[in-house]
């Protein structure tokens, strides 16, 4: 199934639903962008506990009334912001893996590097923890996060399959699940304390070896299966 990155939860949270007419939507696109930029900054610097509509309006350089015209409630603004953050993440992933000429090993290494280093960056750690915390208390945000991970995993499997046409899809799904879990766990482990007994660089090396070994094992099992099938008893 092909998934449209730009609208993976558009049916759940649509920014344009907060404008009244097509002409107003066109006129207010830049304002909405300013608002979401400001909301992102406030969430990163103040956290959910300090996230207020007044601070967002002040940061965006607009009046509180103008803000509530586009986003009547704080939760509506937060959901729209989370939608954009996740869509941007998927677009970055698409761009990062758009080179058709790299080998499967190079692709794995590139993917692991990107996932791990992005997940331990200060901005990603801050915003991820806030989103996870909000998902515990808001069903819509929790569902949006769940949908994001579903799409992320499916998109990664599709990407890896292009350079690994002979690898079983089930194996690729396992590889992607392990990769995402390792990367997310790295954000928790290294997000507040960068120096651990095992460095991020070593984690990347181990993760790359693990993923490549899973793929190699799958290829070996397939060869053995073919040999066994061809044996005459």
Write out residues in the chain with pLDDT < 70, as ranges: 1-28, 193-194, 215, 217-233
pTM of the model: 0.71
Q: 206-226: b or e for each residue (b if 16 or more CB lie within 10 Å)?
A: ebbeebbebbeebeeeeeeee
> Tokens 């608002």, residue?
35
- Say how far apart CA 185 and CA 203 lie, in whole Å: 11
Intra-chain end-to-end CA distance of the chain, in Å: 42
Tokens standing for 224? 């053995």
Domains of the chain in sequence order: 13-81 (1.10.10.60), 97-233 (no CATH)
- Say how far apart CA 171 and CA 76 lie, in whole Å: 39
Say how many CA atoms lie within 13 Å of 100 toward its Cβ: 1
Beta carbons of 218 and 173 less than 8 angstroms apart: no
Which of 56, 187, 181, 76 is closest to 130 using CA atoms? 187
- Say how far apart CA 81 and CA 3 lie, in whole Å: 20
- Say how far apart CA 179 and CA 210 lie, in whole Å: 9
| pLDDT at 55 (0 to 100) | 96
In this structure, the number of other CB atoms found within 10 A of the CB of residue 178 comes to: 14
Beta carbons of 141 and 86 less than 8 angstroms apart: no
Angle at CA of residue 88, ends 12 and 34, nearest 5° = 85
Which of 171, 192, 184, 186 is closest to 122 using CA atoms? 192
Tokens standing for 60? 């965006």
| pLDDT at 233 (0 to 100) | 40
- Say how far apart CA 116 and CA 184 lie, in whole Å: 8
| pLDDT at 219 (0 to 100) | 53
């Amino acid at each position: 199934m092909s998934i449209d990155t730009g609208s993976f939860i558009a049916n759940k949270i649509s920014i344009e639903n907060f404008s009244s007419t097509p002409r107003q939507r066109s006129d207010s696109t830049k304002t909405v962008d300013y608002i979401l930029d400001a909301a992102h900054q406030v969430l990163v610097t103040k956290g959910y506990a300090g996230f207020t509509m007044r601070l967002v309006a002040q940061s965006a350089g607009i009046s509180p009334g103008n803000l509530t015209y586009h986003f009547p409630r704080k939760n509506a603004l937060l959901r729209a912001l989370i939608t954009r953050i996740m869509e941007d993440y998927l677009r970055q992933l698409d761009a990062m893996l758009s080179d058709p000429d790299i080998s499967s090993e190079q692709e794995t290494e590139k993917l692991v590097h990107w996932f791990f280093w992005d997940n331990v960056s200060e901005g990603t750690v801050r915003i991820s923890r806030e989103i996870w915390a909000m998902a515990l208390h808001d069903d819509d945000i929790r569902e949006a996060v769940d949908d994001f991970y579903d799409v992320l995993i499916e998109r990664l499997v599709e990407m890896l399959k292009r350079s690994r046409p002979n690898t079983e899809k089930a194996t690729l799904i396992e590889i992607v699940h392990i990769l995402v879990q390792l990367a997310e766990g790295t954000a928790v482990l290294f997000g507040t304390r960068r120096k651990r007994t095992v460095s991020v660089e070593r984690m990347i090396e181990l993760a790359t070896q693990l993923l490549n070994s899973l793929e190699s094992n799958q290829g070996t099992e397939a060869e053995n299966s073919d040999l066994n099938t061809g044996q005459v008893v």
